[in-house]
Chains A and B, each alone.
Chain A
Amino acid sequence: MKHNKAAHNLHVLSVILILLLFYICFFQMERKELGDVAIVRVLGIDKTADGYHLTALYNDNSTKSIDAPIMKTIDGTGNTIYDAYQNLKRKNKKEVTIAHTSFYLLDNQAAADGLESCLDFLSRDQTVKNNASIYILLSENTYDFLTKSVDDESFMHETLSAITQKKSSELKKVNNTLATILNRMDQDYHNLIIPYLVVEDEYVYANGYALFQDKKLTQYLDYETSQMIDLANGRLLTCPICLSNQVGLELTNINAVKGITLTSDNKLLINLSIDFDSDIKEVPYATEVFSSNTLSVLNEMQNEYVREYMAAIIEFSTSHGFDFLNINEMIAAEHEDIWTLIKDDPIAYADTISYQVQISSEIANNYVITE
């Protein structure tokens, strides 16, 4: 009987506790009716002389559309991103939300001014999508870019989605998501790169990586170098190259393995081993490409092609203190004492790190359709 009473009391107490929690949460819940929300698909961040200028490309759900949804832009200005965002929100009659924003575009100036001030606001918003992509816009500001796309009735969010889709089909893992970039900014391994977009007339495409040092944009890398960085990091799935003798190849089955060895003179030796296969795609002159001699020449040429790029990348890394090969993270994990020395001034300690690059490849596929 006593047991029953205690169980009953416990039951009542738990019910009261749940109801109390419910009561508290009822007033904490943010009610946002779906029809009253303007969903931002792309957010552009421009830096101007007066501060920041945000442009949001959003779905207009105030008028019914039979075909595709109507897209509109709205912009706001302010001293900071948050300020500009508040300004933008005030202007719109519906509540603007960036919870579904899949793309953040930064113009050249905003990126050069520093990523921290651009992304700090986003890093503190718990509603943002972690897998949203970030791109740098090379040649124009995002306001012009987005408003023009609305005027042209082109769906820029779909174009950006296609670009992202294409990138993810080329790479094993995309490295320009908001979460990745915020992590890299936080870890500070001197290896922050973000893809940039080139706008040419009505075409928009991702060309290569924009390089960030001290979280500020310093340089744009060309397409081939960007590809070779991905190749060195083992991120690349396939990669087209064109050799000096005009033979076109496609690299496949790419594997890149990195290792760190501490030498007897207390220096670090980075072993980079790259292994890949390739398919012959184009031989624009009459030659016997099926002979083992020619294949071996081509094999050596493609190795040399990659080796040259690796040398250039390593050279840039040591001279600029930039970690293209993502070895700082390994050093920090395996040789913490050395990392504490080099982390603040990697250039000064560049000569304590030497590199050994091994490239092995094979022409795996070589055929021609004949009678």
Chain B
Amino acid sequence: MEKIIHSEVLKNLFQKSTDVLVRPIDIKSEYNLTVSIFCVDGMVNSQVLDMTILRPIATDALVKECKTQEELEKYLLNCGGAYHAFGSETDDFDQLITSVMSGMLALIFDDLQKAILFDVRTFDKRSVSEPSEEGVMKGAKDSFIEVLRTNTMLIRRRIRSPYLVIEQMYVGRLSRTDVALVYLSNVCDMNLVDQIRKKLNAIDIDNIAAASFIEEFIIDNGNSLMPQIMYTQRPDRCCSNLTDGRIALIVDGIPFIYVLPCQLPMLLQSPEDYSDNFIASSSLRTLRYVTMLLSLLLPGFYIAITTFHNQLLPVQMIVSIQQAKINVPFSSFVEVLGLLLSFEILIEAGLRLPKPVGQAMSIVGGLVVGQAAVSANIISPVVVIVVALTGIAGFTVPNSDLAIAVRISRFVLGILAGLAGFFGLMVGVIFILLHLCSLENFGVAYLAPFVDVKSMNLQDTIFRFPIHDFKYRPEGLAKKNPRKQK
């Protein structure tokens, strides 16, 4: 295919696409000039198109005086011929196609093999609404949506600094998805920006269909179960990370943005932490750490203690557990792992079903089947308590990627505990710790600031200190501008 900007070329290219419009417009004058409109039906605002572009072309006397397409193009673009502020010239065929496919309108000048692009985009989009995942009582209620430009607007509204950079690029050979790299140029480490930019440019894939299509290309350790990119639906959270020296990545079509580099403590922070009193926030955040460990270790702990080390339990508790286990045919190992698996099935089914049916199924699955299983001596009530506690504790983890990692890890730890008791459990924990310690995210340790830092900047980790104590940005991120406040 010949890549020249010409209406015939475009007509041939899109002859089978009914939604793509390549329409010549003859200018009734003595010079008989013709320009072509090139746009996608449904993506352009026809009212704006009519009023700002077509109407001047049809009625403006000065347009009729243009002798050549060159004069016409200059008049429309530079001399206010078109009543539209966002016009730009292009002679790049690929850029033309990408722009038009993303909703812009092009005026094609065949003789010049050039086009003027006008941003007259309009398409159905969700309004900015409350975030579905990171809701807060006391805080902003807006969230990112699927449209990149709306998302950049939400960020720009909060950070009015001239240093806020929004670099836009395309990813995906066919989809040509808009991706924006957002950072504060006076805070952020530019080497980090270069690294991410390079990784984005290196992505060579047809289509960015879902979040993982970007995620898996830019993380350093693709084989790790641990989430290495934080995502957020909240513009305020994104902005506070930007001011910390992190970089945001906005992908058109995805209603949240990525924040990187990501460290484990970030995944246990909740937006609510910064809305409440610091003592209340610290208590809740500590609780989150504890519940994450509980969710990770409780099934393995129960299996180990009831199978290998029952002397560690108080005797009254042993007697209660024994009584509960009478007539149950399975070992603790099978009981716990079986019930955990059932729990996962319930969660998965609940996600797939429509909301009202999902709720009904949760009641039937959780309460009715659970109660029936206990009555039928298939499982003991203690195991139901352990698994329920594990599951509920898991839901307190604010980041769903981390929650999934915890959910999978607890199966592995449960199996190890079933094989070798506390020793097996400890082997699993050591492996996890080794793995976490070995992870690095764009040059920053995954466990930072607990490890690999010169000064322990722990003000925003397990405890949330008062805001006036947040003097410095996280180490390793904002090298040239580390101070946050006086």
A266 at interface by CB-CB < 8 Å: no
Give the number of chain B interface residues (Cβ < 8 Å): 28
User: Could you say which residues of chain A place their CB within 8 Å of the CB of B438?
Assistant: 11
Q: Give bound CA distance, A61 to B306, whole Å.
A: 15
**Cβ contact within 8 Å between A99 and B311:** yes
**Cβ contact within 8 Å between A63 and B322:** no
**Cβ contact within 8 Å between B310 and A35:** no
B318 at interface by CB-CB < 8 Å: yes
Residue of B nearest to A21 (CB): B427
Q: Give bound CA distance, A324 to B82, whole Å.
A: 112
B-facing residues in A42-101 (Cβ within 8 Å) = 59, 61-65, 69, 97, 99-100
A-facing residues in B312-326 (Cβ within 8 Å) = 315, 318-319, 321-323, 325-326
**Cβ contact within 8 Å between B311 and A97:** yes
**Nearest CB of A to B26, in Å:** 67
**Cβ contact within 8 Å between A34 and B319:** no
**Nearest CB of A to B121, in Å:** 48
Between A19, A21, A31, A59, the greatest number of chain B beta carbons within 10 A of the residue's beta carbon is seen for A31
Q: Give bound CA distance, A125 to B265, whole Å.
A: 45
Q: Which residues in B have some Cβ–Cβ distance to A below 8 Å? A: 306-308, 310-311, 315, 318-319, 321-323, 325-328, 331-332, 416, 419-421, 423-424, 427, 430-431, 434, 438
**Nearest CB of A to B280, in Å:** 40
User: Could you say which residues of chain B place their CB within 8 Å of the CB of A102?
Assistant: 315
Q: Give bound CA distance, A63 to B322, whole Å.
A: 10
**Nearest CB of B to A58, in Å:** 10
Residue of A nearest to B327 (CB): A64
**Cβ contact within 8 Å between B308 and A31:** yes
Number of A-B contacts (CB under 8 A): 80
User: Could you say which residues of chain A place their CB within 8 Å of the CB of B319?
Assistant: 39, 59, 61, 69
**Cβ contact within 8 Å between B326 and A25:** no
**Are A29 and B420 also in contact (CB < 8 A) when A11-B438, A100-B318 are?**
yes
Closest A-B pairs by Cβ, 3 of them = A99-B311, A61-B322, A34-B306
Main secondary structure of the interface of B (DSSP, over half): helix
B-facing residues in A98-112 (Cβ within 8 Å) = 99-100, 102
Some 5 contacts from A to B, beta carbons below 8 A apart, are A19-B427, A21-B427, A22-B416, A29-B420, A35-B326
Q: Give bound CA distance, A18 to B435, whole Å.
A: 14
**Cβ contact within 8 Å between B420 and A62:** no
User: Could you say which residues of chain A place their CB within 8 Å of the CB of B431?
Assistant: 15, 18
**Cβ contact within 8 Å between A22 and B427:** yes
A30 at interface by CB-CB < 8 Å: yes
Q: Give bound CA distance, A15 to B325, whole Å.
A: 37
Residue of A nearest to B333 (CB): A33
A32 at interface by CB-CB < 8 Å: yes
User: Could you say which residues of chain B place their CB within 8 Å of the CB of A26?
Assistant: 419-420, 424
**Cβ contact within 8 Å between B424 and A34:** no
| Residue from A18, A64, A99 within 8 A of B430 (CB atoms) | A18
Q: Give bound CA distance, A294 to B419, whole Å.
A: 75
User: Could you say which residues of chain A place their CB within 8 Å of the CB of B420?
Assistant: 22, 25-26, 29
**Cβ contact within 8 Å between A64 and B323:** yes
User: Could you say which residues of chain B place their CB within 8 Å of the CB of A63?
Assistant: 326
| Residue from A11, A37, A41, A69 within 8 A of B323 (CB atoms) | A69
Q: Give bound CA distance, A13 to B325, whole Å.
A: 42
**Nearest CB of B to A41, in Å:** 7
**Cβ contact within 8 Å between B332 and A18:** no
**Nearest CB of B to A345, in Å:** 42
Residue of B nearest to A34 (CB): B306
Q: Give bound CA distance, A19 to B419, whole Å.
A: 12
Q: Give bound CA distance, A33 to B438, whole Å.
A: 37
**Cβ contact within 8 Å between B423 and A34:** no
Q: Give bound CA distance, A250 to B306, whole Å.
A: 47
Q: 10 additional contacts, CB 8 Å, given A15-B434, A22-B420, A30-B308?
A: A18-B430, A22-B419, A26-B419, A33-B332, A34-B306, A61-B323, A63-B326, A69-B323, A97-B310, A97-B311
A165 at interface by CB-CB < 8 Å: no
User: Could you say which residues of chain A place their CB within 8 Å of the CB of B311?
Assistant: 97, 99-100, 127
Q: Give bound CA distance, A69 to B315, whole Å.
A: 12
**Cβ contact within 8 Å between B331 and A22:** no
